[in-house]
A and B are shown apart, each in its own frame.
Chain A
């Protein structure tokens, strides 16, 4: 059974940092695309970042230079290090399998339940 479980969210002050975790079971993160997708309260979906084979990484322009995606293959876990946080980064952060642009794995077929990040003073 495929499962993705996010953790690490909370209340963070503007300019602060937090690291989100996405613990995966049922597939190997080293052989799949794993993305972070966020949803601000009452708003739509926004793709944030993807990591895949050999550690290739891509980011949305809105987070480039501030967020870093990484993976630990031994723990089958994907991380999102979020620095220089802004109020507009407040959202429910989902991890999902997929996000491979121009590939057979571009759609997101499995999602976690999300972890809430609130950036506020």
Chain B
């Protein structure tokens, strides 16, 4: 199984500042035939289901603000939230869909400082 490890487990960032969440996979999720990284990011607010923010490591889902961006390739990925807003308080998860079983990171809790 591919193990997804996020860092940090939690972080507190001031409003208007930048938040950076890292995700490392135990093996590459880059498929060389199409040069795509099989990596997604989700946001989960209390009492709500997860919401898909990013897929293919860097493609934003429709309707997701451009404050959210994904980067990285192979085994190391980053979710960056610029100009942090109060509504961004949530737990964020990365997920690989390169190989079965699908696996998620343990989650990163983002709070306002």
Contact = CB atoms under 8 A, between A and B. Distances in A.
Report the contact-size class of chain B (Cβ under 8 Å from the partner). Answer: 20 to 34
A106 interface: yes
A111 interface: yes
A108 B104 contact: no
From B98, B102, B106, B107, residue with most partner A Cβ within 10 Å: B102
A121 to B, nearest CB: 28
Given A45-B104, A102-B38, A106-B38, A111 B98 contact: no
A99 B102 contact: yes
B104 A109 contact: no
The SS class assigned to the A binding surface is loop
A101 interface: yes
B97 interface: yes
A102 B97 contact: yes
B100 interface: yes
A95 B101 CA distance: 16
Given A107-B52, A109-B52, 14 more contacts: A35-B102, A45-B93, A46-B104, A47-B104, A58-B101, A100-B97, A102-B31, A102-B99, A106-B38, A106-B55, A107-B55, A109-B61, A111-B50, A112-B49
